[in-house]
Amino acid sequence: MYRFIESIQLKEGNFKRLPYHQARLEKAMKQFYPTLEVINLAESLQKTEFPIRALYKCRVVYDSEIRLLEYVPYLRREIQSLKIVHSDQESFPYKPEDRSGYNAAFAQRGECDDVLMVRNGWLTDSSYANIALFDGKNWFTPRTPLIFGVNRAELLEMGKIREKDIKLADLSSYTQIALFNAMIELGEIVLEVAKIMP
């Protein structure tokens, strides 16, 4: 049985990027449960008692139906350095519950706070966030990330980032790297490329 996750930002009682989460959920359900009715996230969330103050992560675990729905106060991790880790982790259009490949990569971070995962010589993601690189003018995100994140989808639609195939060998062409996901906005975690360790 395949299980998936949506981590939804709940800020001051408002669920962010819900249409993007719904679209990603639909991709998973259409592939793995094509004969079943698609879960309606908005309806499911409205049936729960959710916090209306502060910042929470709404964690939804599902397969053919929602198996877990919880609200967890969110505290952002401090990231000041990244370690380059080579991985054969697959790329998915949805978010699998199984994080063993990411955890194995994260365990190789050494003295760094997180990892920059590289697949077949191409930059992909950190262990828990999409990335974008700044060339002094524009922000570029890898064309094939490991997870097609909801914040990434929205930023692309808004034109704030652009897709590009980025080789590890081209890292020195950029000055900064940003990490972002459903809970972290673009600009909240930005490091100098010099903080990426080989």
Tens digit of each residue's pLDDT (9 = 90 or more) over 117-138: 999 999 999 999 999 999 999 9
Closest alpha carbon to 63 in 29, 40, 89, 22: 29
Band (pLDDT 50/70/90 cuts) for residue 165 is very high
Band (pLDDT 50/70/90 cuts) for residue 2 is confident
Do 100 and 125 share a domain, yes or no? yes
* Cβ atoms of residues 82 and 167 within 8 Å: no
Does residue 1 carry a pLDDT above 70?
no
Does residue 34 carry a pLDDT above 90?
yes
Does residue 100 carry a pLDDT above 80?
yes
CATH of the domain at 124: 3.20.10.10
Residue ending a domain, choose from 73, 107, 132: 73
- Note the pTM of the prediction, 2 decimals: 0.95
Residue ending a domain, choose from 28, 47, 73: 73
How many domains are contained in the chain?
2
The mean pLDDT of 11-22, rounded to a whole number, is: 98
Do 154 and 89 share a domain, yes or no? yes
Mean pLDDT, the chain, integer: 97
Residue ending a domain, choose from 21, 48, 73: 73
Do 119 and 143 share a domain, yes or no? yes
Q: Which domain holds residue 135?
A: 82-197
The mean pLDDT of 134-161, rounded to a whole number, is: 98
Do 137 and 112 share a domain, yes or no? yes
Do 183 and 115 share a domain, yes or no? yes
* Cβ atoms of residues 89 and 56 within 8 Å: no
